[in-house]
Structure 1
Amino acid sequence: MKNNSVEFIMSGRRQRRRRWILVTALLAVLAFILSCTMLLLGNTIYPVQDVIRSLSGEQIKGVSFAVNTIRLPRMLAGLFAGFAFGIGGHIFQTMLRNPLANPNVIGITSGSSAAAVFCILILHTSNTVVSIVSVIAGLATVIVIYLLSKGKTFSIGRLILVGIGIQAMLDAFISYLLLKGAQQDIPAAIRWLSGSLNGSQMHELPPLVLTVFICTPIVFVLGKHLSLLELGEQSATTLGVNTDRARILLIVSSVCMIALATATTGPIAFVAFLSGPIAKRLVGVGFSNMIPAGLVGVNLVLAADLIGQFAFEVRFPVGIITGILGAPYLIYLLIRMNRKGDL
């Protein structure tokens, strides 16, 4: 009887592992297909062999400029920003045990956005400075939210409420800047706030790429602690987790990725909000959904950008398309949580 129970448990674990591997592989293949599609499609559709030759360094009239200067930076920005938003959103939702606790809702992206808009409209700084200030502002925002919500004991509900309040204040500040900013600078700020891959350039991407490559292994190693934090503060402490240290490392790593992604592409709406739940629904439970959530974020951003470019007569920024996809889910989630009494 005991052997049968052990075998049943091990069989279930093997099935869950196979499902995780299959879903993750399919998400990676889909991301690769979407990435290739972004390099091939545009005002002019170039042959595959010409695109490959151009990427390998060969100069081909018309193709090299379109692919290497316009399409490749756009694709890489969407890929790394989507991955950063997906992982960052999953970390916050899992760690705080609430699907509403994502960077878009609790004010973290608003902190980076407010700083970026201030740099664009008031200081007229370079994109490099905008990126640096956005990261600092994102970290400062999460520190303020964490300190205000901590009190005698850490409270998830208090953190979400404080974050929503901070977000409302920062959004009001952004609106004020848009009213006071010079007319010639406002289109750039609006385009950035809507979340867009337009105008992405290769020299702007290294900070985001480097941050993703540094922070992803950190949060992956801390994935075990993240799963324990999902059980609750007391349970995680009982199991030997230094909750404050683990939470700080996870928050700093995810905020760095989210802030740099926001600085590079603007606050692409709902990607951080949708990636984790979609990944959990596809993969199931039993294994970390961190990498699948990042891949879901990649696919959401790349697919939404292709839809925004080619599905309508007018081209829309990627943030508008993801907003259209995410808003109904937010309403559904609020209704479901209200029925359960979680609100």
Structure 2
Amino acid sequence: MARLANLETEYPVLDSTVRNFCASHGIFSVEDFLIHDLYMLAAFAEQNDSSEGLKEGIAQVLSIIDDMHQPWLNGMELLEDAKRNKHVFPTGIQGIDLLLGDGTIIFWNHLVLYLDTGNSFSPQRIAYFLGKTINPSSAQAKNQFLQKVMSNISCHSVFDMFAMFDVLHQLESYLRCQDGRGGCQMRLLIVDSISSLISPVLGSSSTQGRALMTSAGYLLKKLAHQHNLAVLIINHTVGGEGGYSKPALGDSWKCIPHSRLFLSCDRGSNNYNVSILRHPSMGSLLTVLLKKALALQVSSVNTYISRSAEASQKKLRR
């Protein structure tokens, strides 16, 4: 956490008098307040000639600490927040929507931020998918619709963790200013892919990489929760035991996303498999089998839903 000496510019009440008083009690940072007896500190402040200024400084630091954690909420408050503010986006593919739990349809009048870490963003591909999901009455209507959707997508190229943090902090400031205002709001953040940023800084002999990964996960979850964003994070796969693929970011990352889907391809049958690795309300054995057509045309996907249960499998076909 920040040192008190670095906070005076933003909080003038934390002047040299307050800092010297705190230093005399072994307090040099906001973190030091968390392990100090605040009642004793307030009592010492009362005995000082500058007691009013000191009490204002102590109150300011406590306010900073309060802003750093989420407020306590009971079950009913959480339920109301989920009903009022939390949204689930349809993917356009019914089988995957079933895996994710489906939800309220948020149509095209929202902003999307796409963080591209490998120059993989393709506007032509997006235009192709949009063309398959709408049936406009004329070519002009189709072009107007396409322009509206594409103008709501903002793509930023980021090639290292610090560039991503930069963009995310700018996004946080922007969203904080936009909250409560009308107009077009951001509802989707895509990071494609986060593993290509984190993998280079992960090392067995250093904890810095894992600390950066944890900080990135915390910031993404904070944005999702506080500003009601849907956050889609791409994590590539690597070879695992027995020749099977596994997520590149392993155990340290798996607890960060709310839901994790594992996509794989059976080259023998040309089927794509989508399995749940983690979900807050669904079992991890649910799998969707998507025909090869997924890569070619969304509307012609044949989807098979299969649930694994002990010795038998039940299939639900769309």
TM (norm. structure 2) is 0.27
TM (norm. structure 1) is 0.26
Q: RCO (CA 8 Å, sep 6+): is it higher in 1 or 2?
A: 1
Bigger-Rg structure (1/2): 2
| Greater per-residue helix proportion | 1
| Greater per-residue strand proportion | 2
